Structures are given as structure tokens and as C-alpha cells.
Amino acid sequence: MKLQQKLYHYGYAAFTLKPSQIYWYALRRGLKDRKRYDFTVAQPLHADVGSCEFLAYTMGASQPQHFRFLNRERAYDLDQMDWSADEMPRLWRYNLHYFDYLQDTALSDDDKRQLMTDWVRQNPVGSVTAWEPYTLSLRVVNWIKFLLTQDDAAITPDILGSLSQQVDWLTKNLEWHILANHLFKNLKALVFAGCCLDGEAAKSWWASAEKHTLKQLDEQTLSDGGHYERSPMYHCLFLEDLLDMLQLVQRRSPDSVFAKRLRERATAAALFLRDITLPGGNIPLFNDAAFGIAPAPRVLMDYANRVLNDDLDDTRHHPEHQAFLDSGYFVLGDGADRMVIDCGETGPRYQPGHTHCDTLSFELTVAGAPLIVNSGTYDYEPGPRRTFDRSTQAHNTVRIDQQEQSEVWGLFRVARRARPVTARLETTRDGTIAFLGAHDGYQRLSSAVSHQRAVTCSPGKSWRVLDTLNGAGKHTLESFIHLHPDVHLTTHDQRLILTAPDGHTLAEITVIGEVEVVVSESVYHPEFGVELPNTEICLRMQTSLPVSFGYEIRVAGTN
């Protein structure tokens, strides 16, 4: 990166931060420089919270004594645990220290306790990776969930002492410099420690957790129920956090404002998830979303029904046409045919780390099966995959002059970003429901361009996508369409035939406008560490503006 560009990027990043973040960035010192310190050991766990039933996880190991995270597997030896795992990606190492596998019934309780004891022995306070606040927060919750299922005799002094020290360390290292989901995970750990442990230290953890979590609930939940980072995957994780905390809080103080607020936000978040879930049961892959990290929507909905003592499916599952104006998600269609469109903010202004260039992109499911998809998220490591996954080309939207609609850079950075100018559902003269949206991401070009997209749908019949580019001068325009790996393509002039693996026709795409149709191989990253080949269709033209072009997707068997 050239020095001038680097200074611009970092300057822009600093400009968009909250003043409090800058303060905490300046105050925060490296973990490796911290020293040991005195702390108060909490008392044993409360018996009255042991009846909570949290979601269970599986490690995904294919054989005994193997950890499998992010679709990468590594053997381990209980007697010689290697907690550094230096040869594995950073996020894999984080997963090793999260201890989600304590909820895996395939591991014996004795092995779980041995892993905890060995972790205490090998990971002194302040160790990089192991003691990073986000990693520590997930581990504290997982340790407590496991210990709630154990007899008091199983909670050894070294485990209880380490747990207390970890929570005390966390209180001194809350991620105020990052905020967003990181801070919420920190606060969840304090809720668990404050609810489940006893003693003066636990009381202070609880007081801090209640105070700050109430504020973050207001900041991080949008009016339509969505999480403000606007990533469906992180929304799922947020919903699980809300439900986990609600179980504990309503046992400790069922009539409190805290319990009431958690219930309200968990209900709204569950309904939001219900309504953006695609017919096949998966989330749409916008903004650093992937399958297999958060619990599946159906699992979360069942969990919500149980914790909330309600049936959130009893009124309208997959309702026809929904506008989530605050989150920026628009749902068109009903039953087995649904499209979800993204035309919202890229995330909080001060924390856009999970932003992709997916404004005005969409995912489409026809007859219950995914037809058109975004490219997903492969990893959080530097390299071409991360760059591609965040790019405009990786999504079903329009790129102008080979420029990104938002200036994504690094792993989690964004400079100038596309903002929605308009986004709404409306009814056309013939009664058809249409989406109309526009963004200003290309106003920064030397010859400013605005991108407007109109989508009309007739579920079970057709979907019409029309892009209008307004501005002046001649530009290169590219509209990308990414097919699900199970969808095959054959071309007949301007007609594109989409077929299933067994050869039967699913749909036909008809091009609108004088464009060149370019078909190429691409990649689909539905899970971290998974790369599947798929087909990318690019409708390309070089022309003077203004201009409109697009395509119509007609479902097979309709006229």
C-alpha cells in the first residue's frame, strides 16, 4: 500500500471512530506487557441457576482426540496439549481457546476437566490469544455452562481460581476501543460470572454487567429487531447471547428492568431472524456471514420458543414482502420463492469491520432451493480470498469502472462507504410489489454516478431486476450474478438457462439491454474454510450515461 493511500485510510478510520474509542485505543497497552496482580477468588456457583438449559455444540471431530474448527482438523494429546497451535490460522487458534467443546457430549467430563486444568497450567495471565478479551469472554461463558452441570467436588480450586482471575482480568480490559459484538461478548461473560458465582467480586461483576448491558441493548438492537452490525451471522450469535443471558437474569431477578428488556429484545431479534431466513432454512450471506459458526436459524427459533415460553412460528412464517427499514433488508416473495435484498447502512459508522460491498445485492431461492447467492466468507486471514469475499464482484450487484462501491481495505477496515439514498417497497399500478433502492457509493468517482435498482416479483413466476445508472460521461458497467454450485448454466444468445444437477430446468434469465454476457468460474464460500466452484455471470457494457439495463429471471414452467 502506498504511503499516501495508507495515511488516507488510517486518517479516515480515525475520523469515523467515537472519541471514546480513540481514548481507549490510546490507553490500552499490549497484553504481553501486563504483570500478575492480586485478585479476589469468587465463591462456588449458585445452585439455583443450574437448571438452565443452554444450546449444546458439537466439536465436529471425525475421530477421537481431534479438534475440528472452521473445517480444519488437528490432532491433540491430552497429556501434551499444544495450546499455541502456531501452524493454524488465527481464528482457528481462537476457537481452541473458546472451549465450545465443553458442550460436546462426545467428550467425557473427565477429559473436559483435564483440558481446563491443563489450560490453566500452560496459559499464564496475559498470554496473547488465550487472554485476549473476546476469546476470554467466550471461554468464561463455556466454563460456567459446563461447571453448572458438575458436582461441587468437580470444581477444583485451580479451575475456580483461574475463572475468577479471568473475569477480573476482563473487567480491566473490556473492549471499549472496539465496541459492537466484542463488547457485548465481554458483558455477557460478566453477566454469567455475576449471576452464577457468589461473593463480593461476583456482586461487582453483576452491577457492572447490568449497567453496561442495558446501554448496549439500546445501542446494538435496531428498531426492526436486527443487530446493528447488519450481518445475519452475527445477528444469530447476538440472539443466542440474549437468550442465554435471559435464562440467567430471569432466575436471579425475574421482575427487573434488565429481565424485561432482555425479553423484549430477544423476542424482536427472533422475529427478525424468522422473517429473513430463506426457505431452505439458511441465512442470506451478507456482511461476513457464513454457515456453521452460529446455530442454524431453526435451532435458534426452537431455543427462543423454549426460553421465551412462546410460539413465535404460530402467525406467519415466511410472510409475503417485508421491509426492515432500519436494518436495510427487504424480503420479496412467499412460500418457497423468496428474495432478500440488502440496501442498508454498511454497519455502525464507528465499527464497520464486517462490511462487504453488497449494497443492492440479493439472494434468491426458488422452489425451496438456493438459485442465486452471495459468495460468502472463507476466513479472516489476509490474502486474495478475504479481498474477493468483501468485493463488489463477489455480490449480485453493479460495479462501475472496476471500483468498489465501498472502499474496503485490510481485513476489517472501510474508508468511504456506500450509503442508501432510498430504499422502500411499493405497489405498482398492476398491484405488483416492487423494491426500489439506490446508493451513493459511486458519487466519489471523478464523474459521479448514482446506482438505482428496481426489483419486481411475481412469486413462482418471475423476478425482474433493472439497474439505472445516472451521471455523465462514458463508463464500464458490470452487473454480477452468482449461481449456487448446484445450479448449472447453458447459454442461448441472450437467454441463460439454469438447470439442476439432474438436468431439469429451474429458471431462465433474459437479459435486458445491449450488454455483453461473460460467463466465468468463480468460488462460493458458504462456510469458513470451504471453497466450492460455482458460476459467475457478468453483464458488461461500456456506454455513456444515463442508461438502464438488467435481467428477468423466469421460473421454469411459467409463461
CATH of the domain at 459: 2.70.98.70
Pairing state between β 505-512 and 516-524: unpaired
28 located within any domain: no
43 located within any domain: no
pTM: 0.94
223 located within any domain: no
138 located within any domain: no
pLDDT at 409: 82
What is the rounded radius of gyration, in angstroms, for the C-alpha atoms of the chain?
Answer: 25
Instruction: Spell out the alpha helix ranges (H) of 230-378.
Output: 232-252, 257-276, 297-308
pLDDT at 317: 53
Instruction: Write the single-letter amino acid at 285.
Output: L
Cell of 214: 442495558
At 539 the three-state DSSP class reads: strand
Number of domains in the chain: 1
The alpha carbon of 176 is separated from its chain's Cα centroid by a whole number of angstroms, namely: 20
Distance, in Å, from the CA atom of 263 to the CA atom of 250, rounded to the nearest integer, reads 9
101 located within any domain: no
At 420 the three-state DSSP class reads: strand
pLDDT at 153: 74
Distance, in Å, from the CA atom of 190 to the CA atom of 194, rounded to the nearest integer, reads 6
- 322 Cβ neighbours under 8 A, 6+ residues apart: 275, 276, 329, 330, 331
Q: Dihedral of CA 81/83/84/87: which sign?
A: positive
Distance, in Å, from the CA atom of 85 to the CA atom of 17, rounded to the nearest integer, reads 33
Distance, in Å, from the CA atom of 546 to the CA atom of 525, rounded to the nearest integer, reads 35
Instruction: Write the single-letter amino acid at 137.
Output: S
85 located within any domain: no
**DSSP secondary structure string for all residues of 458-486:** ETTTEEEEEEEEEESSEEEEEEEEEB-TT
| Residue stretches of the chain with pLDDT short of 50 | 30-33, 35
372 located within any domain: yes
- Domain span at 414: 322-555
pLDDT at 468: 98
414 located within any domain: yes
Distance, in Å, from the CA atom of 5 to the CA atom of 407, rounded to the nearest integer, reads 11
Task: Give the HSE-up count for residue 471: Cα atoms under 13 Å, Cβ half-sphere.
Answer: 23
pLDDT at 4: 67
**Residue reference for cell 482438523:** 73
